[in-house]
Amino acid sequence: MPEAKLTSKGQLVLPKMVREHLAVKVGDRVSFVIQPDGEVVVRAATRDVRTLAGFLAPAPRAVSLDEMDQAVRDAAAERDQRSRQP
């Protein structure tokens, strides 16, 4: 288990294994979350924008007003058709 030593200034040096696991580098921030049971969880607080690549789905293609109007007409006709069935 990696360990760190607290300096007289209250600083910690994160062991290399921990830095690599968190994917943090010089200047990045980490957060310390104190759990109810007293355990402290260390998390990377900053994220490089590149790590978010692919996080969101690609934007759907644009739809023209004519296509929207046609979709509304189709849906209305389908609803009308269903309401007429016994």
DSSP string, 6-58: --TTS-----HHHHHHHT--TT--EEEEE-TTS-EEEEE----GGGGTTSSPP
The yes-or-no verdict on residue 13 having pLDDT over 70 is yes
Going by pLDDT thresholds of 50, 70 and 90, the confidence category of residue 82 is confident
Q: What's the rounded mean pLDDT across residues 8-20?
A: 94
Collect all residues with Cβ–Cβ distance below 8 Å to 23 and sequence separation of at least 6. Answer: 44, 51
The yes-or-no verdict on residue 76 having pLDDT over 90 is yes
Report which residue type is found at 50. Answer: R
